[in-house]
A = this chain, B = another copy of it.
Amino acid sequence: MIKQFFSITDTDSSSKARTGTLELPHGSIETPAFMPVGTNGTVKALHHTTVENIGYRLILANTYHLYLRPGLDVIRHYGSLHDFSSWEHNILTDSGGFQIFSLADFRKIQPGGVTFRSHVDGSYHELTPEKVVDAQMVFNSDIAMCLDVCTPPEIPEKKAKEAMDITHAWAERSISHRLKHPEYTGHLFGIIQGNFYPELRKESAKKISSLDFPGIAIGGLSVGEDFPVFQDMLSHTVEFVPQNRPLYVMGIGTPDYILEAVENGIDLFDCVFATRTARNGAVFTKEGMINLKKAYNTYEKGPIDAGCTCTACKIYSRGYLRHLFKTNEILGLMLAAEHNLAFLHSFIRDIRTSIREGKFLEFKRSFLERYAGKA
């Protein structure tokens, strides 16, 4: 049974772009929506209230990280991840599949589950699809993700198919296991894999769509491939996914990728890029990204981006922000991270408006013209 928690409110006539509403246990979310990444239950360098004041009501946290630290017993003691972290709004938790693939020192994937060594202390752990569902029930995640098998680009098709087949088997086991938690009010999403093989992508899209998931994620993209490859693979994949459920592309968070995803009917996306790159001084502007550390900002009295209402742009000059980065002051990171999340929030609000007004492709073109102009 698919829960009717997602409603599409407007659709673009020239593309698959749409706006919608997700009714989640901790409040409703307008889509398309970007989710800031709060790996450990906190968006890096930001107060919860800052994330909230920007307007975000759904953040992403990570099962792999939280399972290792502080561990499930601790979160259970506090009641839920919301109670533990004091973030009162929605949380989507990633399953950890990607982190086991990218962070763990060692991993062995078998049909039963995955054994890996913690990147924190080298200890060995085993996760199964069932344990990953259970962990997310402990978190009381508003959206939970199935354990999947991520693969790097350019592996042989045979290897990609093996990983996909395990992902599919795990998806079915995850659904069965979720049914043992009738008290759970959140939503378990399936994940499409298939590497960069069109036939596998098609097979995975059809398979995951055939299962009783209330929402569907597209995984394994934005892992280093060129932009045209991302475009092709995304549009190819969504062809085989019914459009009535919320669709989530994992790991994208720059304006060009977000616009591409929205055009393909995607409703949700997340990425560490905005906050991670901010910690290096790189910030979004409507004319492209700039790096605050650069000497040309030294005497610049203007804000990062005129019209932006974040703390950095309201109060501080580019020159002072540069000084904060050059002297390694934490306030620099705090302000740049807030700016980048505020930029993306208002960017996506503008996307939603453009869809409602039937002008999405026009918005996309004019935004990218200006953005690429000086990038």
Q: What residues of chain B lie closer than 8 Å to A78, measured between beta carbons?
A: 301, 317, 319-320
CB distance from A367 to the nearest CB of B (A): 30
A159 at the interface (CB under 8 A from B): no
A261 at the interface (CB under 8 A from B): no
In the complex the two chains form, is A329's CB within 8 Å of B298's CB?
no
A327 at the interface (CB under 8 A from B): yes
A326 at the interface (CB under 8 A from B): yes
Stretch of A42-50, A92-100, A215-223, A339-347 lying at the B interface: A42-50
A326 vs B65: C-alpha distance in the bound complex, in angstroms?
12
In the complex the two chains form, is B42's CB within 8 Å of A324's CB?
yes
A235 at the interface (CB under 8 A from B): no
* Binary B-proximity of A84-98 (CB < 8 A = 1, otherwise 0): 111000000000000
Say what secondary structure dominates the interface of chain A. Answer: helix
A330 at the interface (CB under 8 A from B): yes
Select A44's contact among B65, B85, B299, B330, beta carbons within 8 Å.
B330
A167 at the interface (CB under 8 A from B): no
A331 vs B322: C-alpha distance in the bound complex, in angstroms?
21
A77 at the interface (CB under 8 A from B): yes
**Chain B residue at smallest Cβ distance from A41:** B323
A311 at the interface (CB under 8 A from B): yes
Number of interface residues of A (CB under 8 A): 37
**Chain B residue at smallest Cβ distance from A328:** B40
A374 at the interface (CB under 8 A from B): no
Select A329's contact among B42, B311, B322, beta carbons within 8 Å.
B42
In the complex the two chains form, is A40's CB within 8 Å of B323's CB?
yes
A3 at the interface (CB under 8 A from B): no
Select A70's contact among B45, B49, B311, B323, beta carbons within 8 Å.
B323
* Binary B-proximity of A289-331 (CB < 8 A = 1, otherwise 0): 0000000001101000000000100011101101110110111
In the complex the two chains form, is B74's CB within 8 Å of A315's CB?
no
CB distance from A66 to the nearest CB of B (A): 9
A8 at the interface (CB under 8 A from B): no
A299 vs B83: C-alpha distance in the bound complex, in angstroms?
13
A132 at the interface (CB under 8 A from B): no
In the complex the two chains form, is A298's CB within 8 Å of B70's CB?
yes
A366 vs B371: C-alpha distance in the bound complex, in angstroms?
62
A85 vs B316: C-alpha distance in the bound complex, in angstroms?
7
Q: Can you name 14 A-B residue pairings with CB atoms under 8 Å?
A: A40-B329, A42-B324, A44-B330, A46-B331, A47-B334, A48-B315, A69-B326, A74-B319, A77-B299, A77-B319, A78-B319, A78-B320, A86-B320, A330-B330
Q: Which residues of A contact B (CB under 8 A)?
A: 40-42, 44-49, 65, 69-70, 74, 77-78, 84-86, 298-299, 301, 311, 315-317, 319-320, 322-324, 326-327, 329-331, 333-334
